[in-house]
Amino acid sequence: MVHETRHDGDAVSISETIIEAVAAAEGVDPTDRDLQLYEAVDLEALDALFDRRSSDGHWQFEFSVDDYLVVVTGDGNVSVWER
């Protein structure tokens, strides 16, 4: 694993947390990283899925973006792995 963080749903959307996590994995500022996250996943659908998640958190969503595998769990963990 390259980077792991916890999503704070009150502050930002899950897609913003993912962008920040991938940038952190690369050691760059999120504003300096041109991450084309929308090419890998439907951001509105991802945000809606996370906003409507059940309270038990027993699910995970995985997708690839650039050279990384991103894993988001229902309890708010976001992990970034090198592929």
Structural domain boundaries, residue 63:
3-82
pTM of the model: 0.84
pLDDT at 78 over 90: yes
Residue 79: the pLDDT is 97
Domain count, the chain: 1
Question: pLDDT of 18-76, one tens digit each?
Answer: 999 999 999 998 888 777 788 888 888 888 877 776 556 678 889 999 889 999 988 88
DSSP states of 55-70:
TT---EEEEEETTEEE
Q: At what angle do helices 14-26 and 43-51 cross, to 10 degrees?
A: 110
Residue 38: the pLDDT is 82
Question: pLDDT of 4-22, one tens digit each?
Answer: 999 877 778 888 899 999 9
